């Protein structure tokens, strides 16, 4: 090898360690990962064991944990855990409360739900999460599915709208949910629906369609134009940045998180990297970083859990912040080129948007 090429390699390494500068943008590098302050705003922290929070902090991550009405842990217990962790580490941890819908249709449902929302907010919640059970599980007394724009919910969302309480909503599912396994675009969906056939809507043609779910959510936002709204999981429009962009244009109070849908973005990247990159730059004020990792349930081996957290976070960082190739397990190991978003875009997606929307400024 000639002497000159050693010199050039040396220069490029130095540049990537410093965070390479080119054109108008200034970019982060892989080695910036630990030192840049970040927020994972969708991580289910279902334990009072704060060691994982301390681990996150060692990588400069703060955590926002959404409680969920999924029937796995009682809503009150989730609130107790979240408010305990928040009291211990208010500067590192925030959470969304939730409410149960089992008494839907009975007298006093809306009033009782508002009482439960107030309790969450008084306990320190930065907003309220609702889940896909609305639209996919909940039925009225006539046996019909209840969608989120059902009028019985109106007083609840009117109240949240009037009191500026943020709603984070996992409504519907990825479009893959309505497809047979062999037509799904990402392996994590294939795995999830093979384990949860009850939610694999391809198997349940009598249930509302994908379009019904998206339509009900859009109708909720039309009815409550001032409602502060975060669409979890790329607002279930993970298959098309264009479709999500249309909703952002239509609903100014709407933003969306990336939780558990980065592989779907990467799938779009393989077809058209610039389209995905331009979308994230155009809507840099509307996108929030989150993973949907869940702590405190099955795996309790600290070293295994924390190395999994680190790998997940690092893989996403390489994809979003650098132009390196990332091998994506959910795409059968295909290598996807990183988007190398400018630093200020990364800062918004990873921290500033969450700080603003969830009042997390320190």
The site for Zn ion (CB under 5 A) is made up of 292
- Between 125 and 336, whose beta carbon lies closer to Zn ion? 125
Closest CA to 211 of 201, 221, 203: 201
- Shortest Å distance, C-beta 66 to Zn ion: 6
- Between 36 and 349, whose beta carbon lies closer to Zn ion? 349
- Shortest Å distance, C-beta 68 to Zn ion: 6
Query: What phi-psi label fits residue 359: left (phi over 0), alpha (psi between -120 and 50 degrees) or beta?
Result: left
- Shortest Å distance, C-beta 16 to Zn ion: 34
- Between 42 and 348, whose beta carbon lies closer to Zn ion? 42
C-beta of residue 80 within 8 angstroms of C-beta of residue 45: no
CB neighbours of residue 272 within 10 Å: 11
Name the closest residue to Zn ion (Cβ).
292
- Shortest Å distance, C-beta 292 to Zn ion: 4
Phi first, then psi: give them for residue 45, nearest 5 degrees: -100, 85
- Between 161 and 292, whose beta carbon lies closer to Zn ion? 292
- Shortest Å distance, C-beta 296 to Zn ion: 13
- Shortest Å distance, C-beta 42 to Zn ion: 6
Residue 274, Cβ density class (10 Å: 0-12 exposed, 13-18 middle, ≥19 buried): exposed
- Between 69 and 292, whose beta carbon lies closer to Zn ion? 292
Residue listed under structure tokens 């392996």: 187
- Between 40 and 292, whose beta carbon lies closer to Zn ion? 292
- The runs of H, that is alpha helices, within 169-239 are 187-195, 210-223, 232-235
CB neighbours of residue 311 within 10 Å: 10
CB neighbours of residue 204 within 10 Å: 14
d(CA 159, CA 117): 10
Q: Which residues have C-beta within 8 Å of that of residue 82, sequence separation ≥ 6?
A: 45, 65, 67, 95, 97, 123, 124, 125
- Shortest Å distance, C-beta 43 to Zn ion: 8
Compute the Cα dihedral for 151, 160, 358, 63 and give only its sign. negative
- Between 20 and 70, whose beta carbon lies closer to Zn ion? 70
């Amino acid at each position: 090898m000639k002497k000159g090429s050693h010199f050039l390699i040396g220069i490029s390494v130095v540049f990537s360690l410093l965070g390479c500068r080119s054109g108008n943008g200034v970019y982060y590098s892989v080695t910036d990962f630990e030192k840049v302050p970040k927020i994972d705003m969708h991580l289910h922290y279902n334990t009072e064991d704060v060691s994982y929070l301390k681990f996150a902090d060692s990588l400069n991550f703060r955590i926002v944990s959404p409680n969920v009405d999924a029937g796995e842990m009682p809503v009150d217990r989730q609130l107790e855990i979240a408010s305990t962790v928040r009291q211990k580490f208010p500067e590192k941890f925030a959470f969304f409360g939730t409410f149960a819908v089992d008494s839907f249709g009975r007298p006093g449902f809306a009033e009782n739900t508002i009482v439960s929302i107030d309790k969450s907010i008084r306990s320190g919640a930065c907003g309220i999460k609702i889940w896909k059970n609305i639209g996919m599980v909940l039925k009225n007394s006539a046996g019909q599915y209840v969608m989120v724009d059902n009028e019985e919910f109106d007083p609840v969302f009117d109240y949240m709208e009037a009191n500026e309480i943020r709603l984070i909503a996992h409504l519907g599912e990825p479009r893959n949910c309505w497809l047979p396994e062999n037509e799904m675009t990402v392996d994590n969906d294939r795995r999830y629906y093979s384990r949860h056939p009850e939610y694999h809507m391809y198997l349940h043609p009598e249930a509302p369609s994908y379009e019904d779910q998206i339509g009900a959510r859009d109708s909720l936002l039309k009815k409550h134009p001032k409602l502060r709204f975060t669409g979890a999981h790329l607002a279930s429009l993970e298959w098309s940045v264009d479709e999500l962009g249309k909703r952002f244009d239509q609903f100014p109070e709407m933003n969306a998180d990336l939780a558990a849908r980065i592989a779907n973005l990467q799938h779009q990247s393989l077809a058209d990297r610039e389209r995905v990159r331009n979308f994230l730059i155009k809507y840099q004020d509307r996108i929030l970083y989150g993973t949907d990792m869940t702590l405190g349930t099955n795996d309790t081996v600290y070293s295994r859990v924390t190395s999994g957290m680190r790998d997940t976070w690092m893989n996403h960082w390489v994809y979003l912040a650098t132009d390196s190739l990332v091998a994506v397990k959910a795409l059968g190991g295909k290598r996807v080129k990183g988007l190398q978003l400018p630093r200020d875009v990364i800062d918004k997606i990873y921290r500033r948007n969450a700080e603003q929307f969830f009042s997390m400024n320190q």
